[in-house]
Amino acid sequence: MKLKIVIPSLIIFFLFACKEEEKIAIETVVKEVKPKPTIKYGFNFDNYKVINDTIQNGESFGIILDRHHVMYPKINEIATTIKDTFDVRRVRSGKAYTILASKDTLEQAKVFIYKHNRVSSTIIDFKDSIIKAYTYKKPIKLVEREVAGKIIYNFSEAMDTLGLRPSLANTVADIYSWTVDFYRLQKDDTFKLIFDEKFINDTISVGYGKIKAAVFNHNGKELYAYRYVADSILKIPEYYDDKAGLLRRQFLKSPIKFQYRISSRYNLRRRIKLYGNKIRPHRGTDFAAAYGTPIMTTASGTVIESARRGGNGNYVKVRHNGTYTTQYLHMKRRKVRVGEYVKQGDIIGWVGMTGNTSGPHVCYRFWKNGREVDPFREDLPSAEPMEDSLKPKFFEFIKPLKHQLDNIALPTEQKELIVPQEILATH
């Protein structure tokens, strides 16, 4: 006896619907794995032949484009059109570049990307009838970092041990230029920093942002520094200590950052070998440093002399106001001209041996009311202090930063350095 199996229409519909759903699901999956276009510098790189290279010695913008099938009349047109934005004569050997060329058999260049550094590039777009050049900057993510270190030999070595670049050490030295004598740091002095580091593509470090807070333990004293904008009109950030005292002074202690030694002080009865060991007043302070070390102006002012003359060699003289003037002697080379306004910390020349000198140094001279004096014996003025009415807001601002600094662990005796902690900044 044969059995007759009847499948209700509802079941058939259900099976058909399931099949359709599977089909849709499969189609959906296929669509999801479709590769995304490669977008860089605002261009879809998939539409071009991409050539990455480096400018060689003797190569010019014209030579490079000519090699990539752009005719010289077109090259001249490009250079003339964009000259106010980018001077093609200033391309330098060693710089990386990218060319976007057509994908046809000619492979003619359409876009030239000149990479100034890892962040900033100039894009020259001549693929259409309208030629244009503009600056492109890769998006930067700021990551807040905490580090702590201990002085074993000197500050530079301590920062290097932590894997930090010299630019950050220089910034710290600028902040503490009147509070800490970096030449006299002692073994086992400690420091803590809170600062931003800049990253592109989440992993490539391209430098540092602002230092938010710092503290040095030097000679048993906690020396705090907090970045704060007190002037709501000018909005210029300054660094203050934990008592709202301004760290910046009207004059820096030294025209050299921190890798120097004082080889001779202001001495009106000094005997000078170059003059037969006779008593000759030395009305300056000699800062010995490596040949070519940058020399900074110790305060803002106007350059009133920039010349080479006699025993002074190459020198620069800066008038800061009606009371104070400074002079910097024996430079290898001068960077500024008469009449130029310079700001405190600006580089005005480089350490040399011009004039009467037996070794590389800068002789730093200081005038007060037209008379040469020893700046280390003068009660020099501070910069404008914070107004009392602003201090309560400042103390509230630094409270969490002080707590954060105080809770950064210092290196232990068993470890010579502390691994920096990273905290994602909320930018």
Average pLDDT over residues 182-209: 91
Per-residue pLDDT reduced to its tens digit, 187-198: 889 999 999 999
The secondary structure of 282-332 as a DSSP string is B-EEEEE--TT-EEE-SS-EEEEEEEEEGGGEEEEEEE-SSSEEEEEEEEE
Give me Rg for the CA atoms of the chain.
Answer: 32
Domains 141-249+386-424 and 261-377 share a fold: no
Closest-CA residue to 364 (of 249, 250, 248, 256): 256
Average pLDDT over residues 43-68: 96
Domain ranges of the chain: 40-137, 141-249+386-424, 261-377
In angstroms, rounded to a whole number, what is the distance separating the alpha carbons of residues 42 and 45? 9
pLDDT at 304 over 80: yes
- Give yes or no for a contact between 166 and 210, defined as CB atoms under 8 angstroms apart: no
Distances (CA, A) of 299 to 251, 307, 347: 5, 20, 11
Block residue for tokens 């550094």: 117
Question: Topology of 40-137 in CATH?
Answer: Nuclear Transport Factor 2; Chain: A, (3.10.450)
Per-residue pLDDT reduced to its tens digit, 250-270: 788 889 986 678 888 877 666
Amino acid type, 290: A
Look up the CATH number of domain 261-377. Answer: 2.70.70.10
**DSSP helix, strand, coil percent of the chain (3-state; round to 5):** 20, 35, 40
Residues for the chain: how many in total? 427
In angstroms, rounded to a whole number, what is the distance separating the alpha carbons of residues 118 and 140? 11
- What is the pLDDT confidence band of residue 271, given thresholds at 50, 70 and 90? low
Q: Is 185 helix (H, G, I), strand (E, B) or coil?
A: coil
Look up the CATH number of domain 141-249+386-424. Answer: 3.10.450.350
